[in-house]
Amino acid sequence: MEPADLVNFPPHYTQGIECYDYINSHNMSYAQGAVCKYITRYKHKGTALQDLKKAEWYLRQLILEEEAREKLK
């Protein structure tokens, strides 16, 4: 059995549709895509809490951006 291709097909990328494809199909910003990516993969990489905290950080950035837009209205 050959070792897994951890560059092109790491196990946490192959859980259904790839995040990359989903993010592109919805024209998400970097921060939106990061939230999606970390939430989708957090159970599969062995770094669950770290990935959830990363998703939280990016989500907080999106909230701050939205709050700033609301103030401009």
pLDDT digits (tens, 9 = 90+) for 6-46: 666 666 566 678 888 899 999 999 999 999 999 998 998 88
pTM of the model as a whole: 0.75
* Domain residue extents for the chain: 11-72
The CA-based angle 18-54-66, given to 5 degrees, is 95
Select from 49, 24, 25, 26 the least CA-distant residue to 38.
Answer: 49
Grouping H, G, I as helix, E, B as strand and the rest as coil, residue 53 is: helix
Pairwise pLDDT comparison (13 vs 69), residue with the higher score: 69
| Angstrom distance (rounded) from CA 12 to CA 18 | 9
Phi first, then psi, for residue 28 (nearest 5°) are: -80, 150
Handedness of CA 62, 64, 67, 69 (dihedral sign): negative
